[in-house]
Amino acid sequence: MQQIELYDSTLRDGAQAEGISFSVNDKLEIVRALDALGIHYIEAGNPASNPKELEFFRRAGELRLRSAKLCAFGSTRRKGVAAANDQNCAALLEANTPAVCVFGKSSPLHVEEILRTTPEENLRMIEDTCRFFVEQGRELLFDAEHFFDGYKADPAYALATLAAAARGGARALCLCDTNGGAFPWAAAEAVRAVCASFPAFCVGIHAHNDGDMATAIACAAVEAGARQVQGTFLGFGERVGNASLCAIAPNLQLKLGYSCLPPAQMEQLLPAAMHIASVANITVRKDTPFIGASAFAHKAGMHADGVLKNSASFEHIDPAAVGNRRRFLVSEFAGKAAVLRRMQKLYPALEADSPAVAQIVAALKEKEFSGYSYEGADASFDLLIRKRMGDVPAFFELISYKVLDELPYGNERSATATIKVKVDGQVKIAAAEGDGPVNALDLAMRQALAGLFPALGQVQLLDYKVRIMESAIGTGTKVRVLITSGDGEKQWATVGVSHDIIEASWEALVDSVAFKLLEGRA
């Protein structure tokens, strides 16, 4: 298996994404996560850009990395200034990283109109800067900025910029689709030409996703001879983002036979992605390839049945290979096989010909017709099964609740709720103020039940979504409320439907509590 170097630019290119802002501690945590996964190079930023970057490099130097090399990133020297006297080069040197990545212009347009210098001076800038860092004992990687645009406009000059970096001692020559407008076949053609011209050098690919082709470009470049792939781990970056290493690494390793990560580390792809997403304060989209919650989710009955018989029928890889898992979505499209699989998780001895299976399938279709959706509410579907099996005790009985909104308000608590419930024959009454009616009702319910069910103290409401069912009806339509709850160890989702948004919310809240109490009983 040929080794492909993974070069992660989350801390530099990723930090240029809209809405992303890393603290020094954030950056250090991401370095640790990437190193533990087995990433080869971590581009840690431009030390000349701001004081926070310098502080990061100072603290990063104290890390004991197992697999990754930290890489400072910056431009070639300025025109007319020796690299030894250039402030940006001095900052890169001060970062004290084992590797340095220098970017230089490979497009005549950028040389003449952006740098406003001559083609000859640009070549000197590239060669002098590379040689400076090599002579200082740094491993030098060269990013040929706008390479594919430059190669299209003037192939000879684009190759000349790489030759300048090679003369300066660069170990790797990385070809950048900086504008994100290349096509995979054109990129592959250029990579083949570069590999033929520089057979002794590691050729890399750096793709942006403006044309939604970054993963395809990276894979095509590797097939054409590239041996280093640059990208951000989750694909976020400047404009619409960079090539995602979370998609590229498994495509190359699990499908094309290249070696990117040790197999045991590839199985940690999803946990690492979730950790890095948490540090970046973003949510991994469900439809993200390989690592999204929907990546191996099966809804159609025929698909679920096929996967149960032979997973290769509707899955391109084993989900476990990237740390993900298979899910069967329950809906009106679900077949008997998917429902049976879900029921057997709760009742392993249940047989396929049990009348209970047909009853649950019928109940599911009836509920879906009424507006319920259990695709994102697994806990409510488990409760539906348990209720039909007579396996859910009446933990408490609602007698009544009342919710009042008040405007204006001055204590950030806009609503008050009172609730009356019966538990084992005892009536409990509680009241609470909340930030909105649902929050107030949730707090009042917890207060009423707290002394009787201590486990509820661990439960937090993590997410709350409302879906209008039939917008044409206006304010009289049904609403579907989806609530995600968690206890610090696991998360679960529940659903409620009603013409009354408070009633729908109450139904989802009760399911959330019942699910937690049933888990505790088990």
Domain ranges of the chain: 5-261, 297-385, 396-452
DSSP letter, residue 259: B
The domain at 5-261 falls in which architecture?
A: Alpha-Beta Barrel (3.20)
Mean pLDDT of the region 42-68: 87
- Beta strand 297-298 pairing with 479-486: unpaired
pTM: 0.74
Is the Cβ–Cβ distance between 221 and 284 less than 8 Å? no
- Assess whether pLDDT exceeds 80 at residue 309: no
pLDDT per position as a tens digit, 443-469: 999 889 888 888 888 888 888 888 887
Comparing 45-49, 123-127, 468-472, 505-509, the range with the smallest average pLDDT is: 468-472
Of 3-7, 160-164, 264-268, 513-517, least confident by mean pLDDT is: 513-517
Q: Judge whether 389 and 381 are in contact, CB under 8 Å.
A: no
Beta partners for residue 69, in sequence order: 41
Task: At 219, list the tokens.
Answer: 């894979």
Q: What is the pLDDT of residue 223?
A: 98
- pLDDT band (50, 70, 90) for residue 522: very low
pLDDT score recorded for residue 191: 98
Q: Which of 168, 166, 126, 120 is nearest to 145 (CA)?
A: 126
Same topology, domains 5-261 and 396-452? Answer is no
Q: CA 208 to CA 203: how far, in whole Å?
A: 17
Rounded Cα distance, 320 and 269, in Å: 10
Q: Check: CB of residue 57 under 8 Å from CB of residue 47.
A: yes
Comparing 300-304, 332-336, 383-387, 462-466, the range with the smallest average pLDDT is 332-336
Fold of the domain spanning 396-452 = Double Stranded RNA Binding Domain (3.30.160)
Distance CA 178, CA 138 (A): 25
Query: Are residues 258 and 2 in contact, defined by beta-carbon separation less than 8 angstroms?
Result: yes
| Element at 402 (helix H, strand E) | strand 397-405
Cα–Cα dist 434/457, whole Å: 17
What's phi and psi for 345, nearest 5 deg?
A: -65, -30
Q: How long a stretch of residues is the chain? A: 522
Residue 390: its pLDDT value, please? 86
The pLDDT value given to residue 334: 55
Helix (H, G, I), strand (E, B) or coil at 251: helix
* DSSP percent split of the chain into helix, strand, coil, nearest 5: 45, 20, 35
